[in-house]
């Protein structure tokens, strides 16, 4: 089975706020879907955390290296793409775009062999996983109302982040966390994300340590991006000193960028994003390196239904990945597939055991956010 075409279409019209200093508008494209077509008629799908224009430009470069390759060899083909484009933006938009191709190739391999991708990644450790609802921080009363609503609908794990956190005052940060803990109850998992990769971030190590101590009083399960994303030494020091687990890594791409952080002991929880890092081939290798160093991989998942589907397959295939991020309320997660995501009574998401990534895009729903023909037509 040979790769015959690769197509892309950006999602627009309902792009959720990202919490960034320069906030997104609904028509800004930050997630672009990719389809890989084969000469056997099997089509695989992936998702890229990058604008449509950059994905299309990257595909122009990647296409000559990709077309005609064996469609059933995701790791080899992705490695070939990385190796032939290092001079064109290693780690940047080209790597992001390879992520979507890699996801699509795993999807194709699953569909062609009749197996869920998790089994092809090495085997299924679990057939369901706990999703955590991921929310931007709003004023404490409003945030508490939203969290209470989710907790009333079987959600048992929550992450609040960005917004005012670390940007207004220590007192407001503690009010937010106290209100969130009160809303979700003592037994729910509650995580806090400072979002220090934001361009407007102004705090340093002392703030992070002081805040970690406050979060410890509220039983917070991890403190995410408490420091600027390149502050490796401070992450290592904070992980040793903080009473709560330290999480990060969502802005890193390529497995090679993660290994120094994992080996230095920078993270308790490492959070690569499958739609940026290089796809499932990179995620799997980062996940096993993390496991061998006593670090959990919990994927960054602020992306699309195809990203979530990939995270579920990855969670099935890694022993320590017992949570996935779920961007609560985004149509790009909830409204582009034929079947809706549904929690079971324990607040868990079943991991599809159908062939491939285990989800089908719904062209009718997709048409609200992109042109499905741009993805589905072969030429
Ligand atoms: Mg984050």
Q: Is the pLDDT of residue 134 over 70?
A: yes
Secondary structure (DSSP) of 210-279? HHHHHHHHTT-S-EES-S-TT-HHHHHHHHHH-SS-EEE-TT--SHHHHHHHHHHT--SEE--BTTTTTS
What mean pLDDT is predicted for residues 100-104?
Answer: 98
Q: Are 99 and 279 in contact (CB under 8 A)?
A: yes
Sort 203 into a burial class: Cβ within 10 Å, 0-12 / 13-18 / 19+: middle
Q: Cα of 195 to ligand 1 centre, how many Å?
A: 6
Which is nearest to 238 in space by CA: 193, 195, 206?
A: 206
Tens of pLDDT, residues 340-351: 999 999 999 999
pLDDT band at residue 19 under the 50/70/90 scheme: confident
What mean pLDDT is predicted for residues 88-102?
Answer: 95
Q: Cα of 245 to ligand 1 centre, how many Å?
A: 14
Q: Cα of 33 to ligand 1 centre, how many Å?
A: 21
What mean pLDDT is predicted for residues 120-126?
Answer: 97
pLDDT recorded at residue 378 = 78
Q: What is the pTM of this model?
A: 0.97
What mean pLDDT is predicted for residues 296-304?
Answer: 96
Across the chain, what does the average pLDDT equal? Answer: 96
Q: Is the pLDDT of residue 269 over 90?
A: yes
Q: Cα of 113 to ligand 1 centre, how many Å?
A: 35
Q: Is the pLDDT of residue 186 over 80?
A: yes
Q: Cα of 20 to ligand 1 centre, how many Å?
A: 11
What mean pLDDT is predicted for residues 313-324?
Answer: 98
Q: Cα of 183 to ligand 1 centre, how many Å?
A: 21
Tens of pLDDT, residues 200-223: 899 999 999 999 999 999 999 999
Q: Is the pLDDT of residue 52 over 70?
A: yes
pLDDT recorded at residue 21 = 77
Q: Is the pLDDT of residue 316 over 70?
A: yes
Separation in Å, CA 333 to CA 47, 231, 234, 314, 315: 11, 32, 34, 17, 17
Tens of pLDDT, residues 54-92: 999 999 999 999 999 999 999 999 999 999 999 998 999
Q: Is the pLDDT of residue 111 over 90?
A: yes
pLDDT band at residue 379 under the 50/70/90 scheme: low
Q: Cα of 18 to ligand 1 centre, how many Å?
A: 10
pLDDT recorded at residue 265 = 98
Tens of pLDDT, residues 150-167: 999 999 999 999 999 999
What mean pLDDT is predicted for residues 6-15?
Answer: 95
Element (H, E) at 308: helix 305-317
pLDDT recorded at residue 115 = 98
Phi, psi of 355 (to 5 degrees): -60, 145
Maximum Cα interatomic distance, the chain, rounded to a whole number of Å: 60
Q: Is the pLDDT of residue 368 over 90?
A: yes
pLDDT recorded at residue 372 = 93
Residue 19 structure tokens: 């919490």
Q: Is the pLDDT of residue 24 over 90?
A: no
Q: Cα of 346 to ligand 1 centre, how many Å?
A: 25
What mean pLDDT is predicted for residues 91-119?
Answer: 98
Q: Cα of 193 to ligand 1 centre, how many Å?
A: 6
What mean pLDDT is predicted for residues 221-239?
Answer: 98
Q: Cα of 131 to ligand 1 centre, how many Å?
A: 15
Which is nearest to 136 in space by CA: 327, 300, 2, 270?
A: 327
């Amino acid at each position: 089975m040979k790769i015959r075409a690769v197509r892309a279409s950006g999602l627009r019209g309902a792009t959720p706020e990202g919490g960034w200093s320069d906030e997104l508008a609904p028509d800004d494209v930050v997630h672009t879907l990719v389809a890989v077509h084969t000469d056997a008629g099997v089509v695989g799908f992936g998702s890229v955390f990058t604008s449509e224009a950059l994905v299309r430009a990257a595909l122009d470069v990647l296409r000559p290296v990709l077309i005609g390759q064996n469609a059933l060899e995701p790791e080899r083909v992705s490695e070939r793409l990385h190796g032939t484009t290092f001079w064109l933006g290693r780690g940047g938009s080209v790597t992001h775009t390879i992520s979507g191709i890699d996801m699509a190739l795993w999807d194709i391999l699953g569909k062609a062999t009749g197996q869920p991708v998790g089994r092809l990644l090495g085997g299924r450790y679990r057939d369901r996983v706990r999703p955590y609802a991921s929310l931007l921080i709003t004023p404490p009363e409003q945030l508490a109302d939203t969290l209470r609503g989710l907790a009333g609908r079987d959600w048992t794990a929550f992450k609040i982040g960005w917004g005012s956190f670390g940007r207004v005052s220590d007192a407001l940060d503690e009010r937010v966390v106290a209100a969130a803990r009160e809303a979700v109850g003592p037994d729910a998992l509650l995580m806090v994300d400072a979002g220090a990769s934001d361009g407007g971030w102004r705090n340093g190590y002392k703030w992070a340590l002081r805040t970690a101590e406050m979060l410890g009083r509220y039983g917070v399960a991890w403190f995410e991006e408490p420091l600027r994303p390149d502050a490796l030494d401070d992450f290592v020091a904070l992980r040793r000193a903080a009473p709560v687990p330290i999480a990060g890594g969502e802005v890193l791409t390529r497995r090679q960028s993660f290994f120094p952080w994992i080996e230095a002991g920078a993270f308790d929880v490492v959070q690569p994003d499958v739609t940026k890092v290089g796809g499932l081939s990179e995620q799997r290798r980062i996940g096993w390196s993390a496991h061998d160093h006593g670090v959990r991989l919990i994927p960054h998942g602020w992306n699309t239904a195809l990203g979530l589907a990939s995270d579920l397959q990855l969670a099935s295939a890694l022993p320590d990945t017992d949570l996935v991020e779920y961007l609560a309320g985004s149509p790009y997660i909830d409204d582009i597939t034929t079947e809706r995501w549904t929690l079971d009574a324990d607040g868990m998401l079943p991991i599809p055991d159908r062939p491939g990534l285990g989800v089908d895009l719904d062209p009718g729903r997709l048409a609200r956010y992109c042109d499905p023909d741009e993805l589905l037509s072969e030429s």
